Structure 1
Amino acid sequence: MLAMLVGVASAKIETERKATPILGSPIATEVTGRVVLVELQESGRTRLTLDVLSTARPTLRYAPDRVRATARQVPDKLLPGEVVRGVVRLMPPSGPVRPGSYDFAFQSYFDGLGAIGFFLRNPVRAGSGPEPAWSQSLAQSVERLRMTIADKIRAVIPGASGEIAAALIAGVRAGIPEAVNEDLRITGLAHVLSISGLHMALAAATIMGSMRALFALFPGFSARYPVKKVAAFVALAGTGFYLLLAGDQVAANRSFLMVAVMLTAILFDRAALSMRNLAIAALIILLITPHEVMGPSFQMSFAATAALIAGYAGWKQWRSKSRRHTPPTSRSPLARILRYLVVLIAGSVATSILAGSATSIFGAYHFQRVSPLTLLANLATMPIIGILIMPPAVLAVALMPLGLEALPLMVMGFGLDLMLGVAHWLAERSPLDAVGIVPASTLTLFTIALVVGCFTTTRLRLLALPFLFAGTLTFAGRQVPDLYISEDARLIAVATETGRLAVNRTRPNAFTTQDWQRAASAMTLVKPEVGKGVDAAPSDHFLCIDDVCTINHSRGGSIMSLPEGRDLKAHCTDAAVIVIDDATVNSRACRGSKQVVLTKRDLAQKGSATITIDPESGKPTVQHALARPYRPWHHHRRFAREARGMAPYKRQPRDAASKPPEQTKPPAGVPAEEPPSTSGSGQPDDPEP
Structure 2
Amino acid sequence: MAGRGRGLDRGEDAVIGVSERSLFAPLPTSPLPTSPPEKRPGNDPSRAELPSSSPPARAGLVERVRKRIGPISLPRLRHGVAVAADLELDRGICFLLVPVCLAVGAIAYFSLAAEPDFARLIALVVLIGFCALVSRSWAKTHLCFMAAFLCTLGLLAAKVETWRAGTQVLGSEISTQITGRVVSLDQMETGRIRLTIDVVSTARPKLRYMPRRVRLSARKIPADMTAGSLISGYAKLLPPTGPVRPDSYDFSFDSYFAGIGGSGFFLGNPRIVAADDKEVPLPARVSSSIENAREAIAEHIRSIVGGAEGEIAAALIVGVRAGIPDEINEAMRRTGIYHIISISGLHMALVAGTVMGLLRGAFALFPDLSARRPVKKYAAAAALLSIAAYLVISGVVVAAERSFIMLAVMLIAVLFDRAALTMRNLAISAIAVIIVSPHEVIGPSFQMSFAATAALVGAYAGWADHRAGQTRSPPPKRSLPGFLTRKILHSAGGLAMTSIIAGSATALFAIWHFQRVSPLSLFANLAIMPIVSVVMFLAVASALLMPFGLDWPALYVMGKGLTAMIAISAWISQRSPLDAVGLISRESVILVAIALVIATMATTWLRLAALPFALAGLLTVSQARAPDVLISEDARLIAVPIGGGELAVSRARPNEFTVDNWKRAVKSESIIVPEVFNKGEGQFDLAHAADLPSGAPFYCVEGVCLARHPSGAIIAHVEDRKDAWKACAFANLIVIDDATGYDPCHNPLVLVITKRQLARKGSAAVFFDGQSAIAPATVSFAVDSPYRPWHAKRAFSREARGLPPYRKPERPADSPAVQ
Question: Which category of TM-score, normalised to the shorter sequence, fits these structures?
Answer: over 0.9
Alpha-carbon distance, 1:473 to partner: 2.1
In structure 2, what is the equivalent of residue 667 of structure 1? Answer: none
Alpha-carbon distance, 1:5 to partner: 1.8
SS in 2 for 1:371: coil
In structure 2, what is the equivalent of residue 300 of structure 1? Answer: 448
Candidates 598, 621, 628, aligned match of 2:753? 598
In structure 1, what is the equivalent of residue 402 of structure 2? Answer: 254
Whether 1:120 aligns to 2:120 is no
Distance 1:156 1:327 in 2: 52
SS in 2 for 1:654: coil
Whether 1:209 aligns to 2:365 is no
In structure 1, what is the equivalent of residue 437 of structure 2? Answer: 289
One-letter identity of the residue aligned with 1:85 = S
Distance 1:422 1:459 in 2: 43
Alpha-carbon distance, 1:7 to partner: 0.9
Whether 1:242 aligns to 2:386 is no
Whether 1:561 aligns to 2:561 is no
Alpha-carbon distance, 1:545 to partner: 0.9
SS in 1 for 2:263: strand
RMSD: 1.5
- Considering only CA atoms, is the larger Rg found in Structure 1 or Structure 2? 2
Distance 1:267 1:593 in 2: 70
One-letter identity of the residue aligned with 1:581 = D
Candidates 287, 297, 303, aligned match of 1:149? 297
Structure 1 residues 95-110: aligned runs within 5 Å:
95-110=242-257
Candidates 540, 544, 550, aligned match of 1:404? 550
Distance 1:401 1:77 in 2: 23
Whether 1:383 aligns to 2:530 is yes
Alpha-carbon distance, 1:463 to partner: 2.1
One-letter identity of the residue aligned with 1:647 = P
Distance 1:212 1:74 in 2: 47
In structure 2, what is the equivalent of residue 652 of structure 1? Answer: 809
Q: What TM-score comes out, normalization by structure 1 length? A: 0.93
In structure 2, what is the equivalent of residue 467 of structure 1? Answer: 613
Residues 467 and 129 of structure 1, relative CA distance in 2, 3 Å threshold: farther
Distance 2:631 2:431 in 1: 39
Do 1:81 and 1:140's aligned partners in 2 also have CA atoms closer than 8 Å?
yes
In structure 1, what is the equivalent of residue 791 of structure 2? Answer: 634
Identity over aligned residues, as a percent?
Answer: 51
Do 1:497 and 1:540's aligned partners in 2 also have CA atoms closer than 8 Å?
no
Alpha-carbon distance, 1:565 to partner: 4.4
In structure 2, what is the equivalent of residue 582 of structure 1? Answer: 738
Do 2:180 and 2:230's aligned partners in 1 also have CA atoms closer than 8 Å?
yes
Q: Which moved more, 1:88-97 or 1:356-365?
A: 356-365
In structure 1, what is the equivalent of residue 599 of structure 2? Answer: 453
In structure 1, what is the equivalent of residue 575 of structure 2? Answer: 429
Alpha-carbon distance, 1:129 to partner: 5.4
Whether 1:138 aligns to 2:280 is no
Do 2:734 and 2:752's aligned partners in 1 also have CA atoms closer than 8 Å?
yes
Distance 2:624 2:435 in 1: 35
SS in 1 for 2:553: helix
Q: Specify which structure has the bigger relative contact order, considering alpha-carbon pairs within 8 angstroms and separated by 6 or more residues.
A: 1
Distance 1:222 1:56 in 2: 66
Q: Which moved more, 1:523-532 or 1:149-158?
A: 523-532
Whether 1:271 aligns to 2:419 is yes
Do 2:584 and 2:622's aligned partners in 1 also have CA atoms closer than 8 Å?
no
Alpha-carbon distance, 1:571 to partner: 2.6
SS in 2 for 1:438: coil
SS in 2 for 1:583: coil
Alpha-carbon distance, 1:360 to partner: 1.4
Residues 594 and 239 of structure 1, relative CA distance in 2, 3 Å threshold: same
Q: What TM-score comes out, normalization by structure 2 length? A: 0.78
Alpha-carbon distance, 1:475 to partner: 1.7
Alpha-carbon distance, 1:460 to partner: 2.5
In structure 2, what is the equivalent of residue 665 of structure 1? Answer: none
One-letter identity of the residue aligned with 1:12 = K
Distance 1:629 1:129 in 2: 44
Do 1:207 and 1:234's aligned partners in 2 also have CA atoms closer than 8 Å?
yes
Whether 1:499 aligns to 2:654 is no
Distance 1:446 1:223 in 2: 48
In structure 1, what is the equivalent of residue 378 of structure 2? Answer: 230
Alpha-carbon distance, 1:438 to partner: 1.8
Q: Which moved more, 1:492-501 or 1:343-352?
A: 492-501
Residues 524 and 418 of structure 1, relative CA distance in 2, 3 Å threshold: same
Alpha-carbon distance, 1:402 to partner: 1.0
Figure out how many residues of one structure are paired with residues of the other and give that number.
654
Whether 1:12 aligns to 2:159 is yes
Residues 656 and 559 of structure 1, relative CA distance in 2, 3 Å threshold: farther
Alpha-carbon distance, 1:330 to partner: 2.9
Candidates 369, 372, 377, aligned match of 2:519? 372
Alpha-carbon distance, 1:615 to partner: 0.8
Alpha-carbon distance, 1:552 to partner: 1.6
Alpha-carbon distance, 1:405 to partner: 1.1
Query: Which consecutive segments of 4 or more residues in structure 1 shift more than 4 A?
Result: none
Distance 1:519 1:26 in 2: 29
Do 2:406 and 2:430's aligned partners in 1 also have CA atoms closer than 8 Å?
no
Unmatched 5+ stretches in structure 2: 1-147, 686-690
One-letter identity of the residue aligned with 2:783 = L
SS in 2 for 1:642: coil
Distance 2:556 2:709 in 1: 57
